[in-house]
Amino acid sequence: MIRNFIIGILFVFFGRSIGLGFFGVLLGAVLTAPVAVMLLSFTSWKVMFFILGAIGIVWAIIW
């Protein structure tokens, strides 16, 4: 009985964390597409690659 209680508490906590992580992945994909199209209209794919890569590296360091 105690075990089920603890599992229930942990599942709610980790379930929310997993849901938030998946939301972040989808949000990143939705926001990156318009930025990539805008960059491609002004520059080449190489510049877009480096800019988005730099943003990803900075975000990883901050996180």
Question: Tell me: the pLDDT tens digits for 4-13?
Answer: 666 667 666 6
Q: What is the pLDDT along the chain (63 residues), one digit of tens a residue?
A: 666 666 667 666 666 777 777 788 888 888 888 888 888 898 888 888 898 899 889 988 988
To 5 degrees, how large is the angle CA 41–CA 47–CA 55? 105
Name the pTM for this structure: 0.53
pLDDT for 54: 93
pLDDT for 27: 86
